[in-house]
Structure 1
Amino acid sequence: MNVILHIHDQSLPPIKSSGGSNRLVDWLAIEQAKQGHKVYTMSPTGFNTKYYQHITLSLPCTLDELLALIPSDVEYIEHHGGIDGSVIAGVLARYPGSIQVCHAGKHEGKNNVFISKCHAKIQGGDVIAYNGVPVDDYIFREDKDNYLLFLAKVKRSKKGVDTAIKVAKKVNIPLIVAGGRRFANPETWFNWHPIIKPVGYINGADKFDLISKAKALLVPIRWEEPFGLTIVESMLSGTPVIAFNRGAMAELIIDGETGFLCDNENEMIEAIKKIDQISPKKCRDYAIKYFTSAQMCKRHLELLARAKECSW
């Protein structure tokens, strides 16, 4: 049995409005506990669960303040963000079996772990651990309803909701937009457009149901996205993904088998016409093989053991 501490600057377990990193840390901690390890989490807000014990951390903090909170039996530490570079450097020196998981950019200091090859390359690293999700949370359906899905933070222009709306209008297939509102796109405000259906922020059972019934998930990103949890969530649900070929998309999607990689709006339109060629079962099987919380847990344990032997 290993004793592992996860440190993050956001709520653990996640709250309803939490982003992807909170959920990933929670899934990882739960999986580690299920596999017989003792797990602690440390963050400014949170509480104990049946899988891990929570420790409240006030930020910013000094090295001495942080070290005083770490239980005496902790052997391995995963830093997920929020601690000052000089402070975390002291922690890594005290606990050789420690890694820094980079959910977005790059942490100061050593033992950085990136979430895709693309992410590592951009940040000048080479150690990766793909994200993974708990399989049993997702609903698998082979029969799909007649709608496309956009699921991302709508207000972020780099997510490309405007392109998704244009594409849906051109193919004349309903598009459900989940993830809030965007001032520049009136269709995301209220449910008035015959094709575009905004549903705001969704989570839990509502999200799982919506993903599982969609013909396809549209991901017209305008940036080098380092991973993309919704891509994995979609494939686990048997829903193919049509994405612009940027960031880690080519690492997550097998073009022509679990979805389509496109370079522009016209290619996305053509891909939608071919969506029935994609096998929902093949999407799910592929996601289970590479992107589950169990796979993520296995990789993190390997890297913790590696860090204890030699830092990078």
Structure 2
Amino acid sequence: MRIAQVAPLAEAVPPKFYGGTERVVSWITEELVRQGHDVTLFASGDSQTSAKLAACHPEGLRLLGYRDHTAGHLAMLHHVHRRAHEFDVIHFHIDLLQYPMFEDLYHKCLTTMHGRLDVPDFMPVYNTFTGMPLVSISDNQRDPMPESSNWLATIHHGLPKQNCPYYPEAKGGYLAFLGRISPEKRPDRAIEMAIRSGTPLKIAAKVDKADQEYWDEKIEPMIHHPLVEYIGEINEEQKKDFLGNALALAFPIDWPEPFGLVMIEAMSAGTPVIAFGNGSVPEVIKDGVSGFIVNSMDEAIEACRKVKDLPRAGVRAHFEGRFTAEVMVRKYVSAYEQLLAGQGNVLKMPAAGAFSPQYGELNGTAHGPIHVAAMPA
């Protein structure tokens, strides 16, 4: 199959540091190539891939200091559209701009929704361009979307088995917090969990400019406790030991997390997860097997005491059964095949009742979702 993967230009694929979407795009691309598909990756020129690289900007835009990535993405999408005849499937991993530009090609397109979907600013696009086939990364992620959305499948993320190798023993004995310092990630909860349970905590996280005030006023004053160590942003190689030697990953989120990649990275290492039960958490964590799902600070403290009794081999087995790159890509290939099999039925314009600047108010019927059979747990 000839497949185009269209990545965000914010980071290289894979990213040098933080960049969950670009990391997933890399895993999908490399596994598709491994399985024998002809893949072209549209991404920044500093990306590393075994696919054909279509470089759409010399470097990732975030590290170059670009604040608005719209212009770069519009230029990239123009090139993708001009080359669309070369591909059987065009798989987008950017938010919105492709919806109007690819109306004539919805029969061979799909978009994986990587972020939160409860943003009111985006709803005019979701309500208007309802023909684009969509993939959610958790069932919970879909909740805010219009009923007319053209859901193709829910496909959970997966990562290569070797990325975070299995650690049969947590030599560090600490709680790990990994990702981004922000109010919705609730590092303050992780700190409270550590102090109240008497468990050391290591925080490996970046501070974006948008969250600097939250760091300065809320979190920085809390990290001077002897049980708390702030490390800062770490790279992929450092992440292996950081997660593998942890007693547990603290995932104390306070928002509808669409997926939470760090949860499966920890599970890959055999490290259980203590997570507040928001967003995708109940779909990812098997309570009492790969970690604990909690709904209060008291439950989180109790989980810190119980987590050492969870067999790490069971955590790794849960990961291998559901969240590897091979499992993920097998589902995507199934979705591609079903998309192409229904090519004549996928609308090449917005669905019935939607308003489009090009077509006005439409009559007719919307193409329903294609369901990919669930993999065994």
What is the match of residue 3 of structure 1? Answer: 2
Residue matched to 1:100: 111
Instruction: Quote the residue 1:80 is aligned against.
Output: 93
- Give the corresponding residue for 2:256: 224
In 1: Cα distance, 2:296 partner to 2:159 partner = 29
Pick the aligned partner of 1:205 from 222, 226, 237: 237
Correspondent of 1:129 among 155, 164, 168 = 155
- The letter of the residue matching 1:113 is V
Q: Contact 1:47–1:54 at 8 Å: present in 2 too?
A: no
- 2:317 is equivalent to residue 306 of structure 1: no
**AA partner of residue 162 (structure 2):** D
My pick for the range that moved more, 118-127 or 225-234, is: 118-127
Matched, 1:90 2:100: no
Pairing of 1:1-312 with structure 2 (within 5 A): 2-10=1-9, 11-47=11-47, 49-56=49-56, 58-61=72-75, 65-70=79-84, 72-82=85-95, 83-92=97-106, 96-105=107-116, 108-109=129-130, 110-124=132-146, 127-144=153-170, 145-154=172-181, 156-181=182-207, 182-183=215-216, 184-186=218-220, 192-310=224-342, 311=346, 312=369
Deviation at 1:68, TM superposition (A): 2.0
Shift of 1:90: 3.2
Amino acid at match of 2:108: G
Structure 1 residue 75: deviation in Å? Answer: 1.1
Q: How many residues align?
A: 304
CA deviation string 1:180-207 (max 9, x = no partner): 2422212577xx5311001100121211
Q: Which whole-Å CA distance do the structure 2 matches of 1:236 and 1:211 have between them?
A: 9
Does the 8 Å CA contact 2:41/2:51 hold for their aligned counterparts?
no
- Opposite residue 82 of structure 2, the aligned amino acid is A
More deviation in 115-124 or 278-287? Answer: 115-124
Tell me how far 1:65 sits from its aligned partner. Answer: 4.8
8 Å contact from structure 2 (residues 193, 304) kept in 1: no
Match of 1:159, SS? coil
Judged with a 3 Å threshold, the aligned counterparts in structure 2 of structure 1 residues 152 and 49 are, in CA distance, closer, same or farther, namely: closer
Q: Structure 1 41/267 Cα, relative in aligned 2: closer, same or farther at 3 Å?
A: same
Change in Cα spacing, 1:64 to 1:116, as seen in structure 2 (3 Å) is: closer
Residue type of the alignment partner of 1:272: C
Residue 64 of structure 1 deviates from its aligned partner by 5.8
TM (norm. structure 2) is 0.75
Which whole-Å deviations, capped at 9, do the CAs of 1:43-77 have from their partners, x for residues lacking one? 3544463333234274324976542244x531111
Q: Secondary structure at the match of 2:191?
A: helix
Q: CA deviation at 1:119?
A: 1.0
- CA–CA distance in 2 between the matches of 1:242 and 1:267? 10
Partner SS state of residue 53, structure 1 = strand
Query: Normalised by the size of structure 1, how large is the TM-score?
Result: 0.90
The alignment partner of 1:148 has SS state of strand
Q: Give CA-to-partner distance per residue, 1:196-255, whole Å, 9 cap, x none.
A: 001100121211111000000011110010111110011110100000011110111111
* Superposition deviation, residue 269 in structure 1: 0.1
CA RMSD of aligned residues (A): 2.1
Q: Provide the secondary structure at the position in 1 that maps to 2:274.
A: strand
Q: Using the alignment, how far apart are the partners of 1:151 and 1:112 within structure 2?
A: 29
Would the aligned equivalents of 1:39 and 1:51 in 2 still touch at CA under 8 Å? yes
* AA at the equivalent of 2:140: C
Q: Distance in 2 between matches of 1:296 and 1:63?
A: 25
Task: Answer yes or no: is the 8 Å Cα contact 2:43–2:53 preserved in 1.
Answer: no
Taking the aligned partners of 1:173 and 1:63, their CA distance within structure 2 comes to 49
CA distance in 2, matches of 1:287, 1:53: 30
- Structure 1 pair 303/215, CA: closer, same or farther in 2 (3 Å)? same
1:131-181, CA deviations, whole angstroms, 9 ceiling, x for partnerless residues? 101111112112112211111201x11001001101111111110001124
Q: Where does structure 1 lack aligned partners over 5 or more consecutive residues?
A: none
Secondary structure of the equivalent of 2:162? helix
SS in 1 for 2:143: helix
Shift of 1:12: 4.4
1:63 and 1:134 map into 2 onto residues whose CA distance is: 28
Residue 301 of structure 1 and its aligned partner are, at CA, apart by 0.7
